[in-house]
Chains A and B, each alone.
Chain A
Amino acid sequence: MTDEPIWRRDFPLTSAGEDETTRREFVRYLVVGSGGFAAGSVGIALWSSLRSINAGEPRRIVDLDRVPEGTSHLFRYPTDADPAILVHLPGGELRAFSQKCTHLGCVVYYEPDTTELHCPCHEGLFDARDGAVESGPPQRPLGRIDVEVRNGAVWAIENLGEQEAQR
């Protein structure tokens, strides 16, 4: 037994190209494919918008005397999957930022000679005092982390996220 329709048995005639895909059928696949891509893009945008900033819990980072002025210390905050950098600026001020560059997520490093945070992937430069973009492809400042000194140790208090840099 074959699955061919009755009319095919009654009229066993074939024509050239009858098994080929028509333009309309072809474009139907295009609509499905294009719609799938569009749904994926909208889903990514929704996910990006709806995820909330994890403010984190206060956590001890390091003893202050282990981070002399003009040096930096790498740590993780607010979770162990979030790289962060503590900078002890010349003059004594402490600043902490997310280590993820706001361009494409590479990690930034402290340049003590210029008091800048440098992203080696695409030569992005951020001001180490406030995380503001100085040059390169990044368009947004680094995420800030509020820190304070308690009993000779530096504590991360809260993840502030990206906010307008205040000079």
Chain B
Amino acid sequence: MTAPLPTPRGRRRERDVPVAVGVFVAVLLALQMFLLTVGLDAFLADDDALAWTTAGFSVLLAAGSIGFYRYLR
């Protein structure tokens, strides 16, 4: 008895998932780098409120990546 061949939809899904992970990682790290730059700008311009806002978003993104890590068991 032979195993059934994967359907085209199944193959597409296998390909799409790693691409989705790659896009997620690229967007997340690019956003983190952007937020760090904004935070440094805020620091140089003595804008505490903006520095804390960017730090909050950065922590939120880090929490999202931890959630993603837990999801990929």
A40 at the interface (CB under 8 A from B): yes
Q: Which one of A26, A33, A41 contacts B21 once the chains associate, using CB atoms below 8 Å?
A: A26
Q: Which one of A26, A35, A42, A105 contacts B55 once the chains associate, using CB atoms below 8 Å?
A: A42
Contacts of A103 in B (CB 8 A): 45
Q: A139 vs B35: C-alpha distance in the bound complex, in angstroms? A: 19
Flag if A34 contacts B46 (CB, 8 Å): no
A38 at the interface (CB under 8 A from B): yes
Nearest B-chain residue to A38, judged by Cβ: B62
Flag if A37 contacts B45 (CB, 8 Å): no
Q: A103 vs B59: C-alpha distance in the bound complex, in angstroms? A: 25
Flag if A26 contacts B32 (CB, 8 Å): no
Q: What 6 pairs across the A-B complex have the smallest Cβ distances?
A: A37-B32, A38-B62, A41-B58, A45-B51, A45-B55, A41-B55
